[in-house]
């Protein structure tokens, strides 16, 4: 999509943006090298026993506001919207699973595949065995589309790379019953790779891009 502005373009959908629906984060940031896969949980209260009440359905994924410096075609815009809907759904799944201390692990593969699915399941198991959960709220800031690959492009696949900022002070993995500790905020840049296989967009990989973030 050409604008003639030559700068960063901001796209906003009419769908409400659920920033509090959080997203992926490294469980242990220190010791994570850049571009190493990480998992990501969130929560605001100590986890509740999922057997105590009927589980609620995850909110319907939305398409968040995003920015890109790419000159998008209509096909690329459509791919981005599909990838972002999967991205939001993946975040909702992560938040549900980790806020429950890994106990509410329904349909982990609905929005995740490959390394992201493996990380989601392994971290859920780790939380259950250690009696931990994610305290706080994992919020997303400044969502950016870094690249788009279509089947007829040089990359030859359906892949969208998403960058975003978050604050590691918004969340913490703690023991059951403990609350979120107070620490100085620090911005982190994360990267998610979302691909389309058999007609379904899912998050395939997630990386710690940088231990800094310009806007957070």
Domains annotated for the chain, with CATH where assigned, are 18-46+61-210 (3.10.450)
Cα separation, 78 vs 119, in Å, equals 28
Q: Is the dihedral of CA 116, 120, 121, 125 positive or negative?
A: positive
Residue 194: CB partners within 8 Å, gap ≥ 6? 83, 84, 86, 87, 159, 160, 161, 162, 201, 202, 203, 204
User: In this predicted structure, what is the pLDDT of residue 58?
Assistant: 59
Contact 96, 134 (CB under 8 A): no
Q: What is the mean pLDDT of residues 149-166?
A: 82
Highest mean pLDDT among 84-98, 176-190, 193-207: 193-207
* Average of per-residue pLDDT across 39-55: 45
- Say if residues 127 and 173 touch (Cβ distance below 8 Å): yes
Residue 115, pLDDT above cutoff 90: yes
Cα separation of 168 and 176, whole Å?
A: 19
Question: CA 201, CA 146: separation in Å to the nearest integer?
Answer: 17
Residue 38: per-residue pLDDT: 46
Residue pair 160/147 in contact by the 8 Å Cβ criterion: yes
Average pLDDT for residues 40-49, to the nearest whole number? Answer: 42
pLDDT band at 214 (very low <50, low <70, confident <90, very high): confident
Mean pLDDT over 138-154 rounds to 85
């Amino acid at each position: 999509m050409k604008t003639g502005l030559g700068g960063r373009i901001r796209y906003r959908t009419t769908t409400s943006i659920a920033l509090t629906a959080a997203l992926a984060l490294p469980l242990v940031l220190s010791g994570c090298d850049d571009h190493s896969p990480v998992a990501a949980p969130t929560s605001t209260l100590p986890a509740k026993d999922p057997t105590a009440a009927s589980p609620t359905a995850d909110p319907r994924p939305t398409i968040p506001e995003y920015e890109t410096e790419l000159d998008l075609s209509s096909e690329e815009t459509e791919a981005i919207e599909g990838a972002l809907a999967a991205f939001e759904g993946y975040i909702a799944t992560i938040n549900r699973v980790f806020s429950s201390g890994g106990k509410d692990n329904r349909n982990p593969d609905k929005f995740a595949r490959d390394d992201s699915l493996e990380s989601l399941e392994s971290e859920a198991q780790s939380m259950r065995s250690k009696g931990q959960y994610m305290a706080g709220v994992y919020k997303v800031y400044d969502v950016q589309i870094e690249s788009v690959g279509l089947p007829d492009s040089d990359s030859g696949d359906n892949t969208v790379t998403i960058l975003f900022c978050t604050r590691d002070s918004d969340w913490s993995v703690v023991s059951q019953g403990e609350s979120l500790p107070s620490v100085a905020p620090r911005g982190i840049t994360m990267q998610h790779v979302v691909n389309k296989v058999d007609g379904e967009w899912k998050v395939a990989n997630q990386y710690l891009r940088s231990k800094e973030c310009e806007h957070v």
